[in-house]
Amino acid sequence: MDLKMDAAALNALMIKEFPQVAEDFIVEKVAPMQVTVRLPVADRHLRPGGTISGPTMFGLADVSIYLATMAMIGPVTLAVTTNCSIDFMRKPQSGVDLIAYARLHKLGRSLAVGDVLIHSEGLEAPVARASLTYAIPPK
């Protein structure tokens, strides 16, 4: 299982395809079936009290599985999320970036399935976990 795209290629893909949100998601590491993605937390991600919004964490999980899939199959940018199940387990630490560790468990012709653990940087206990399915369009 060779990589079709490395971290630099994935970051370039985000800037080209999703310019509105590309600065939210920095690919840090890529390995077969795995990516690590940083969300540099900014004011627009916060709710009153300083907690990070649910849609922000959902978006991080979602993009991480997308990028893990692109890393393996190349820029099939029309892949779409069909399902996400996400558990919010702890309040993220304020003033700290989020780091998502995504792993694909299945990469078929038409479906990709993977898991994501989201951590406040530097903390061992994850703040959220998610599993996602992407539908991959026929070539």
Number of Cβ atoms within 10 Å of the Cβ of 135: 13
Whats the size of the chain, residue-wise? 139
* Long-range pairs, 8-12, Cβ under 8 A, ≥24: 10/35, 10/67, 10/70, 10/71
Q: Is 110 in the site for a second copy (CB under 8 A)?
A: yes
- Lookup: tokens for 28: 């840090």
Of residues 4 through 33, those in contact with a second copy by CB under 8 A are 17-20
Q: How far is the CB of 8 from a second copy (least distance, A)?
A: 21
Widest Cα–Cα separation across the chain: 46
Of residues 67 through 106, those in contact with a second copy by CB under 8 A are 80-90, 105-106
The nearer residue to a second copy, 6 or 132, going by C-beta atoms, is 132
Q: How far is the CB of 59 from a second copy (least distance, A)?
A: 4
Residues forming contacts to a second copy in the complex (CB under 8 A) are 17-20, 44, 47-48, 53-56, 58-59, 62, 80-90, 105-106, 110-111, 113, 115, 117, 125-126, 129, 131, 133, 135
